[in-house]
Amino acid sequence: MQVTFIGGADGVTGSCTLLTDDRIGVRALVDCGAYAERPAGVPDGAPRLPFDARLLDFVVLTHAHRDHCGRLPQLHRAGFRGPVYCTDATAWMTRLALMDAAKFSREYNASDVELIDFQAVDHWSDFVFDAPLRLHGVSITFHRSAHILGAVSATIGWRSRVGVARSIAFSGDIGGNTPDNPYQSLLAGQTVPGSVDYMVVESTRGAEPARGPEYKSFDARITAWADLLADSDARGGGPVIAPCFAIHRAQELWFDLDTVLRTTHAGAPDASGRPRWLSLDAPLATRMTEVYAATLADRLGPAGAPAYRNPAMAARLGLSSEAALDTYLAQLWLRVADNKAPGGTLRAMQDDTLSRVIALAGSGMCEGGRIVDFIADQITNPAATIVLCGYAPPTTGAGRLRAWLNGEWPEGMALPLGDVRLDTSRIRARVVDFGDYYSGHGDVEALARFVFAADTHGMAAPPPRVPATVFLNHGEPESRTALAEHLRERSEAPKAGDRALARVILPTHGQRFDLDSPDQRREREAPRRRRLSGA
């Protein structure tokens, strides 16, 4: 078996990894993602795929974010006709996202999306998380990654050229929720692979310090929102504007803010009797919310429990049972489509009687969409508040706003926000960074947990046969380098039960590794060892 790093090896986007084994006749991809940036003349910002798509047997898709799924229609257009294995939520949301993107794409159209053969493995009768499926001559095991709804890590196992059982785990994107502390609102904690020989691990937040405990607490996050809304009222009760991604961030914010408005003074009318209300002004996010409504209620877990839903959710809301929680969530998601401003959100923000609105809109990176119009309209309003709620590369609008907030934006230079250029000398709105509360990418502690953890889903894993080789991808160079150093240091002074590591490798774009070569080398050396030992 050989692994080739095609995308995501030199940055955060474009994840795409090729597995080939001509002996057993397997050619497969793990993810096929689009690139965030788009140089002139380069389709979707990505280099040409360095393989014949017609020869691929299957794709394993870890989740529905564009940087992991965005090139699937182009793959189909290039001749791929095999199945795409993923969860039902991932299949559903990927179709919605790709159909929406097809309206503006130069590389594919809706027909290419419609013909993708998504196979929702979690609806198969023999599917169990953390247990292998036998497909195409290999085993594939799916683990919840707690990144977004339906997101998984995947372990692929095979027999090497000399008959030794080998396996490689792909992290996909790793969330922060763990079984012990599912601090983000919606999802159950992640599970991690057991004994594996190789790991491909994302490193998006690998260069940043571990987040403080306040950022890993549901109660602290709700309190932070209540304090922010109190401050907003003290400054005149202007609009609160939060950029959000259509997938997961919008639904997470909707849940949290509804909780804040129901359980704290922030939801009460102000001194003038003006209500505070919540609006999700994002058509794609509204359609994605239908997936959340169905899937979070889907009882595919052990003993008929919800497979993805955060087990702490009912207690946090003061509800007595999962059935009561079903009713609560059904009503919560229905309100997404109802809470719209008369005349539109932009007009409401300009109306003194309606301006006490919390407006959620896309895009999350402020590169376009309604959020750019909202921020541009309110950036000079001292009563307005803009809340950054997640990761954004520094070359995006949200990334530039974060740089300005941190004093890192050049004085006097206009700040690009989509097609708008903001005059930073005229910024009067309060800009707040809640990114550490909401990032769907786990911090260095979460990344290390995925690599070193000795348990999978509440049960002790078998002792690793051999130390694992770890490949770091999906991160900027400084993030990969910092995470590699952290993993090496910990492996030299391991904690009790840690997985042992053989090497930590930072692959480059196009680099290929033969995963069976250690077995062949040992087999070639075996006769010599027997001679030396006198056997």
Q: Are strands 26-30 and 430-433 parallel, antiparallel or unpaired?
A: unpaired
Structure tokens at 329: 């969530």
Per-residue pLDDT, averaged over 204-208, amounts to 94
Domain ranges in the chain?
Answer: 2-209+443-513, 213-438
Q: Name the residue with higher pLDDT: 163 or 469.
A: 469
pLDDT at 38: 55
**pLDDT at site 27:** 97
Cis, bond preceding 363 (omega within 30 deg of 0): yes
Whether 254 shows a pLDDT value over 90: the answer reads: yes
Q: Who contacts 428 (Cβ-Cβ below 8 Å, separation ≥6)?
A: 379, 380, 381, 382, 384
pLDDT in tens, 486-503: 999 999 999 998 999 999
The three-class DSSP label of residue 30 is strand
The 10s digit of each residue's pLDDT in 324-362 is: 999 999 999 999 987 777 788 999 999 999 999 999 998
Check if 2-209+443-513 and 213-438 are the same fold.
Answer: no
State how far the Cα of 268 lies from the Cα of 270, in Å rounded to an integer.
6
- Residue 104 CA: distances (Å) to CA of 43, 70, 419: 13, 13, 16
The architecture that CATH gives domain 213-438 is 3-Layer(aba) Sandwich (3.40)
Neighbours of 234 (CB within 10 A): 9
| pLDDT in the model for residue 243 | 96
Mean pLDDT for the chain? Answer: 91
Average pLDDT over residues 206-218: 96
Binning the chain into helix, strand and coil, the percentages to the nearest 5 are: 35, 20, 45
CA-CA distance, 271 to 268, in Å (whole number)? 9
- Is CATH 3.60.15.10 the classification given to domain 2-209+443-513? yes
- List pLDDT tens digits, range 118-133: 999 999 999 999 999 9
Quick one: pLDDT at residue 49? Answer: 82
pLDDT digits (tens, 9 = 90+) for 76-108: 999 999 999 999 999 999 999 999 999 988 889
